[in-house]
């Protein structure tokens, strides 16, 4: 699971570990990886390893895959979760450097990680699963978040096209699409709003944000973890190229 020491990625990794999977977790910072491995190994019986690395660097992706294969023998599930928000999201103001950075992390890394894992699966005759994490911003044609949204639109297309090519080898490629999920990143944003609006706590702001969703609450990392477990299970054995929207209805809003 790439990008998995915190937030949605951590929730996905914990859901897998809770259900008996051996899990390789990843993030850029070695200290974060070490801390997450220690915590998860204390909580779950599976084999949890950590591999620091920046997914914008192809060499780090290669090391991640090689280390996981050395530790577990085989890989039968990849979750491409690592992503970033660009420094400048406006399609007018964003620079070419902003474009390259967000596309390398959010799109190129998913392609290359999936390619390496698929090659491994094909070589070993493994009919495994590759699941990309995308966002409801990839469905939108307006509403800001231009560069980030464009990267997620690309992930959607990548998912469909990889699904078609990989299916002939028995490898199922799907995606889960998120909306606002209660993570440390979102809580930090709420804290920033609370500083300007001291009458409301960060918790109040998160509750208010959740109330604007059709289902009336924010998503939780476990919601994404449950979706991953389904798509990776035999119950989903005839599902390929699907973007499962785990958004509480947020994807239906304008």
> Pick the catalytic residue: 44, 112, 148, 164?
148
- Report the alpha-carbon distance of residue 180 to residue 132 in Å, rounded: 17
Active site residue 166: no
- Report the alpha-carbon distance of residue 170 to residue 116 in Å, rounded: 16
Per the CB < 8 A criterion, the answer to whether 171 and 119 are in contact is no
- Report the alpha-carbon distance of residue 218 to residue 178 in Å, rounded: 11
What single string gives the DSSP state of each residue in 113-153? HHHHHHHHHHHHT---EEEEEEEGGGG-SSSS-HHHHHHHH
Angle among Cα 143, 145, 149 to the nearest 5 degrees reads 100
Residues that are catalytic: 148
């Amino acid at each position: 699971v790439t990008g998995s020491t915190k937030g949605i990625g951590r929730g996905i990794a914990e859901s897998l570990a809770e259900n008996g999977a051996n899990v390789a977790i990843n993030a850029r910072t070695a200290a974060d990886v070490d801390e997450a491995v220690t915590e998860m190994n204390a909580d779950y019986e599976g084999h949890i390893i950590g591999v620091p690395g920046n997914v914008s660097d192809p060499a780090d992706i290669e090391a991640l895959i090689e280390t996981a294969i050395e530790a577990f023998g085989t890989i039968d599930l990849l979750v491409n979760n690592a992503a970033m928000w660009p420094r400048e999201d406006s399609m007018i103001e964003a620079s070419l450097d902003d474009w390259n950075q967000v596309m390398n992390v959010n799109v190129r890394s998913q392609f290359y990680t999936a390619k390496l894992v698929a090659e491994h699966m094909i070589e070993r005759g493994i009919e495994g699963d590759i699941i990309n994490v995308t966002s409801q911003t990839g469905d939108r044609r307006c509403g800001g978040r231009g560069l980030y949204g464009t990267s997620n639109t690309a992930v959607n297309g990548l998912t469909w096209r990889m699904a078609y090519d990989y299916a002939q080898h028995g490898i199922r490629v799907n995606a889960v699409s998120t909306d606002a999920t209660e993570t440390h990143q979102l809580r930090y944003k709420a804290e920033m709003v609370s500083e300007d609006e001291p009458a409301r706590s960060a918790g109040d702001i998160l509750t208010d944000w959740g109330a604007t969703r059709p289902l009336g609450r924010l998503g939780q990392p476990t919601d994404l973890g449950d979706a991953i477990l389904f798509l990776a299970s035999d119950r989903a054995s005839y599902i390929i190229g699907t973007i499962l929207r785990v958004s509480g209805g947020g994807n239906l809003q304008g």
